[in-house]
Amino acid sequence: MVIQRLNLRDQVRNELLDWLSDGRLAPGQRLEEERISRALGVSRTPLREALASLAGDGLIEAVPRRGFRVPRLSAGLVQDLFPVIGSLEGLAVRLSGQQVRTLATGLQELNGRLALSHLTPRQRADADRRWHELLVSRNPNRELAAVLERTRSRVRPYAGSWARSAAELEASRAEHEAIATLLGEGRIDEAAEAVLRHWVRATRPVIAWVEREADPG
């Protein structure tokens, strides 16, 4: 796609995040700035600014005298980061107060999309990401929102982990449904605790996927 020139660095950053999610930027890949700038229709300056921003958030790595590369998948990162995301989302739910009750129907509708059999793993990851974005959309704390956005962006390269068994997919959907039900009933603290459990449980299938990717044989 050709990037418009409004907020250029952020637009380039967002596009590269999509590339990390859909596999166009693969783990371990060196980023060729000239090729990427041509593909996006931008100069090297906003591209380098976007790359520096992504590196600052741990999404890519700066390599001395060689530019940037995509980090390799890490089971340790999943183990460490998923409970952090769950805790941050749980806090966002609590801070949202009773306003979050109005999201229950929308969360249930988005959750239904995860049941569609024709979705690719990365399409499921996108549907899941939008579900979690809606979940915290009533959070009034802008600092928390910024921290949460940066932290969640670090798991974008793990979108392929949605190539899961039917049982794992159903478990995730059931947890989403339970959280939405709790919110609709105004049981905010219980919903926040369920969000944390949801992320902690998700570490197992994602780590299993990382290990399969590292040793496909």
pLDDT digits (tens, 9 = 90+) for 32-81: 999 999 999 999 899 999 999 999 888 899 888 888 998 889 999 999 99
H helices of the chain, in order, are 8-22, 33-40, 44-56, 75-96, 104-113, 121-135, 142-153, 166-184, 188-214
pLDDT of 1: 53
pLDDT of 138: 97
pLDDT of 168: 85
Fold of 8-69: Arc Repressor Mutant, subunit A (1.10.10)
Mean pLDDT, to the nearest integer, of 108-115? 89
Residues of the chain with CATH 1.20.120.530: 75-214
CA distance 180 to 177: 5
CA distance 66 to 63: 5
Per the structure block, which two tokens stand in for 36? 């990427």
pLDDT digits (tens, 9 = 90+) for 190-212: 999 999 999 999 999 999 989 98
Residues of the chain with CATH 1.10.10.10: 8-69
**CATH value of 75-214 in 1.10.645.10, 1.20.120.530, 3.30.1360.200, 3.40.50.300:** 1.20.120.530
**Contact call for residues 24 and 40 (beta carbons, < 8 A):** no
C-alpha gyration radius of the chain: 18
Beta bridge partners of 67: 63
pLDDT of 217: 54
